[in-house]
């Protein structure tokens, strides 16, 4: 269920929505960690709020984009935890 429609391609969803139920449940199981779920529509959640990103990317992408995203996400997580 759509909570609010913005002018951007980022939409906040209800955490009880069937589309995101499993991702929210997984986040809560691990103590409210942030999860970035890549798919047809990307889902970002911390177990309390859920956002769906519907921005369409290029139809021609090089291989390894997901690997780069995972590496950068891990790097920024470490930097964020080490900052004062």
Which of residues 5 and 79 earns the better pLDDT score?
79
Number of structural domains the chain divides into: 1
Q: What is the pLDDT of residue 84?
A: 57
Residue 65 resides in a domain: no
Domain that holds residue 22: 2-59
Residue 82 resides in a domain: no
Q: What percent of the chain has pLDDT over 90?
A: 24
Q: Which of 33, 59, 58, 57 is nearest to 46 (CA)?
A: 33
Q: What percent of the chain has pLDDT over 70?
A: 83
* Residues 33/74, Cβ–Cβ less than 8 Å: no
Tell me the two tokens of residue 53. Answer: 């990103």
Q: How far is CA 22 from the centre of its chain?
A: 13
Residue 74 resides in a domain: no
CA distance 4 to 10: 10
25-56: pLDDT as tens digits? 999 999 999 898 887 788 999 999 999 887 77
């Amino acid at each position: 269920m759509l909570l609010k429609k913005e002018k951007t391609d980022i939409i906040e969803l209800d955490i009880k929505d069937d589309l995101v139920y499993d991702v929210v449940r997984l986040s809560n199981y691990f103590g409210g960690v942030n999860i970035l779920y890549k798919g047809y529509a990307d889902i970002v959640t911390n177990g309390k709020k859920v956002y769906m990103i519907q921005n369409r990317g290029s139809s021609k992408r090089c291989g390894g984009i997901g690997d780069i995203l995972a590496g950068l996400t891990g790097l920024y997580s470490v930097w964020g935890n080490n900052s004062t």
